[in-house]
Amino acid sequence: MNKKHVLLDIARSLAMLAGRDLGDIPQLTDSNAYQWDGQSLELLPVEKVNFIKLELLLGIENQKETLLANTEQFARGHGANNALLWGAKGMGKSSIVKAVHADILARNTNDPSFKRLILVEIHREDINTMPHLMRKIGKLDARFVIYCDDLSFDKQEMDYKALKSVLDGGLEGRPDNALFYATSNRRHLMPRDMVDNETRATINSNEAIDEKVSLSDRFGLWLGFHNCDQDTYLGMIEQYCSFYNIEVDADELRAEAIAWAAIRGARSGRVAIQFVRQLAGKKGQSLS
């Protein structure tokens, strides 16, 4: 039994001594975003979500359109898929989830066809408590997008089997009012060498490989994110400068932005907003 399971057992024991049932229906606040505490098995409200407006996320138009449509379908109580957002670092995988949620809330506050849409962040180390989270939110009159950033599994880890069961094939499965979005640098959530080693070391390698990669098959949507070219990168910076009213000479902006990317050895949305923050600071402005 690992340390996480020991702590969970202690939490359950203390709850029983206090007369509190960990399966009780949680009380939601006015907040539309929460963090899941895997140790106390509680939903903690987030009063202010750190997000970038959807229209500011450039270079990922197809991904935005697809995830927005999927999430809107879910918010209306229609069919929708779990989504795996995988690929290059800094290209907006986590930003798009928060931006889509915020966009739907802003546009549909008075639309009776939309259910209350709540974003719940679960940390990678708490994935083994997903069944507890699902039982709690399944009793609530709202719809929940469960979101895990930078999800992946290494050798010897078994938490992925519990996640597979929750997503699709288990006896309980996931409740109708829950959807799961995950971001990862790995398309199959597993290191490439796990699959390669199985291929070399086993007689019936197909079964071993299927066991490792079938977790990603539980996601009905696979959205790939790839490194952007220079024009897209510069377009991101120009869009940010326009939105935040940062005035700078166009030639100067281009030269400094290219130099910034060269120093970091990458062009991405993350590198772009980092440059804009630095530029705003030099000019005595804030990004608010």
Residue 21 lies in a domain: no
**Residue 270 domain boundaries:** 230-282
Residue 17 lies in a domain: no
Residue 1 lies in a domain: no
Is the pLDDT assigned to residue 174 strictly greater than 90?
A: no
pLDDT tens digits along 7-63: 555 655 555 455 444 556 778 999 999 999 999 999 999 989 999 999 999 999 999
Residue 287 lies in a domain: no
Query: What pLDDT score was predicted for residue 152?
Result: 76
Residue 190 lies in a domain: yes
Query: What pLDDT score was predicted for residue 25?
Result: 72
Q: How many domains does the chain have?
A: 2
Residue 134 lies in a domain: yes
Query: What pLDDT score was predicted for residue 131?
Result: 85
Cα separation of 64 and 49, whole Å?
Answer: 19
Same domain, 113 and 197: yes
Query: Which of 206, 225, 244 delimits the end of a domain?
Result: 225
What is the per-residue DSSP string for the chain? --HHHHHHHHHHHHHHHTT--TTSPPPP-S-SEEEEETTTTEEEE-SS-----GGG--S-HHHHHHHHHHHHHHHTT-----EEEEESTTSSHHHHHHHHHHHHHHH-TT-TTSPPEEEEE--GGGGGGHHHHHHHHTTSSSEEEEEESS----TT--HHHHHHIIIIISSS---TTEEEEEEESSTTSS-HHHHHHHHHH-SSHHHHHHHHHHHHHT-SEEEEE----HHHHHHHHHHHHHHTT----HHHHHHHHHHHHHHHT--SHHHHHHHHHHHHHHTT----
pLDDT tens digits along 123-156: 988 988 988 899 899 989 999 999 999 887 766 6
Query: Which of 179, 194, 225 delimits the end of a domain?
Result: 225
Same domain, 237 and 214: no
Per-residue pLDDT, averaged over 104-117, amounts to 86
pLDDT tens digits along 39-49: 999 999 998 99
